[in-house]
């Protein structure tokens, strides 16, 4: 199957993202990557319960914490570190993160700080984690002052994406991930967008979606690489996120991230249309793809409230908001408003 390499020459790092259809294939890939090194699988309670993959390992090889964003917390990191000490981990030992973005960020952060850094292998199990969280090396946890405020960059040693995980993923989580895939199409690839249009229906299956995952990962990987040389490219990935973040904030972060991003992407598109930045045909295609996937982009909040939340965001400097706006499918501009 396909393989994508992420090259970060300035950091002297490069790693592969590999794809497999079945857990048998995934197990072979993982065992060959681990060799005879000590390892600990970090996962969450849902993935442990629903995924057959973890039944292939003994309970002492697995550390599972309760599923949910609330676990993306220092206390979980401490428990992971303690397990690593109990297992007499050395600098060659490996943490294997098997889960959604919460597991990837928390386990990745524990790997980054255990004895000043040990390798992490990322095995994303949610669609969002496959196409977004597993590439780019951001790791971290939440705290009382906000989300993702404690953390570091720690690039994975390797990333394995397996179709088998998508088969147990709830439909709401599939839609969350699709929101980020649509975003990738709009900001970087007309072909990816067209491929998504082709499979768009309200109950897409793992067989429909998984073949498009490598392209989505490649779009993010290219931007992460570009950003290493000429900082700023990563900004494009914020399409839909400035509006989306405000929506999440107004819901006290009890709103699905991918859905907030989808609504935010539509708001950015609407803004672009109103300011002659994109044409009606582009806006129609974007609205249609969300509708065809059954992603509800109607926002119950009044637009003024969202703008107000955006201007109060800590990231906003001197009242200027930087918006990522689509010009056409596959291309965006960054505008300060």
Ligand X SMILES: NC(=O)c1ccc[n+]([C@@H]2O[C@H](COP(=O)([O-])OP(=O)(O)OC[C@H]3O[C@@H](n4cnc5c(N)ncnc54)[C@H](O)[C@@H]3O)[C@@H](O)[C@H]2O)c1
Residue whose C-beta lies closest to ligand X: 101
Binding-residue pattern over the window 166 to 195 for ligand X, x denoting contact by CB under 6 A: --xx---x--x-------------------
241 is catalytic: yes
Residue 93 within binding range of ligand X, rule CB under 6 A: no
Residue 133 within binding range of ligand X, rule CB under 6 A: yes
Residue 122 within binding range of ligand X, rule CB under 6 A: no
Beta strands in the chain (DSSP E): 3-8, 13-20, 39-44, 62-65, 94-99, 120-124, 138-143, 146-153, 158-162, 322-328, 331-336
Residue 234 within binding range of ligand X, rule CB under 6 A: no
Residue 128 within binding range of ligand X, rule CB under 6 A: yes
Residue 248 within binding range of ligand X, rule CB under 6 A: no
CA torsion sign, 122 to 126 to 130 to 131? negative
- H-assigned helices in 202-256: 206-209, 213-229, 241-250
Residue 100 within binding range of ligand X, rule CB under 6 A: yes
Shortest distance in whole angstroms from residue 311 CB to ligand X: 23
257 is catalytic: yes
Question: In this chain, which of 105, 157, 215, 248 binds ligand X, going by CB under 6 A?
Answer: 105
Shortest distance in whole angstroms from residue 286 CB to ligand X: 21
**CA-to-CA distance for 83 and 65, rounded, in angstroms?**
12
Residue 20 within binding range of ligand X, rule CB under 6 A: no
311 DSSP 8-state letter: H
317 DSSP 8-state letter: B
**CA-to-CA distance for 186 and 276, rounded, in angstroms?**
17
- What is the rounded (10 degree) CA torsion for 244, 250, 252, 253? -10
Can you give the binding site for ligand X, defined by CB under 6 A?
44, 46-47, 50-51, 67, 69, 72, 99-103, 105, 125-126, 128-129, 132-133, 136, 138, 148, 165, 168-169, 173, 176, 257
């Amino acid at each position: 199957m396909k393989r994508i390499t992420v090259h970060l020459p300035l950091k002297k790092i490069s790693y592969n993202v590999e794809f497999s259809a079945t857990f048998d294939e995934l197990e072979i890939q993982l065992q060959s990557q681990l060799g005879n090194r000590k390892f600990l699988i970090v996962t969450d309670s849902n993935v442990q319960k629903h995924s057959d993959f973890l039944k292939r390992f003994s309970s002492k090889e697995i550390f599972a914490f309760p599923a949910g964003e609330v676990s993306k917390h220092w206390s979980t990191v401490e428990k992971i570190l303690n397990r690593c000490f109990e297992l007499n981990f050395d600098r060659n030992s490996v943490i294997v993160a098997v889960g959604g973005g919460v597991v990837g960020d928390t386990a990745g952060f524990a790997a980054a700080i255990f004895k000043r850094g040990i390798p992490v292998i990322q095995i994303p199990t949610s669609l969002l984690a496959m196409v977004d969280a597993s590439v780019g090396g951001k790791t971290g946890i939440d705290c009382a002052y906000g989300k993702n405020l404690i953390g570091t960059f720690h690039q994975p040693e390797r990333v394995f994406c397996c179709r088998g995980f998508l088969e147990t993923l709830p439909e709401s989580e599939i839609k969350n991930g699709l929101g980020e895939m649509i975003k990738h199409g709009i900001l970087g690839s007309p072909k990816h967008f067209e491929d998504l249009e082709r499979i768009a229906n309200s109950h897409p299956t793992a067989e429909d979606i998984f073949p498009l995952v490598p392209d989505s990962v490649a779009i993010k990987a290219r931007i992460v690489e570009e950003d290493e040389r000429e900082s700023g490219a990563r900004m494009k990935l914020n399409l839909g996120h400035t509006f989306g973040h405000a929506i999440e904030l107004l819901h006290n972060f009890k709103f699905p991230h991918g859905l907030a991003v989808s609504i935010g992407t539509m708001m950015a598109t609407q803004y672009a249309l109103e300011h002659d930045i994109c044409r009606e045909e582009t806006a129609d295609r974007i609205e249609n793809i969300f509708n065809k996937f059954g992603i509800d982009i109607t926002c119950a909040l009044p637009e003024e409230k969202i703008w107000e939340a955006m201007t109060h965001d800590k990231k906003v400097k001197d009242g200027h908001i930087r918006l990522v706006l689509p010009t056409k499918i596959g291309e965006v501009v960054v505008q300060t408003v």
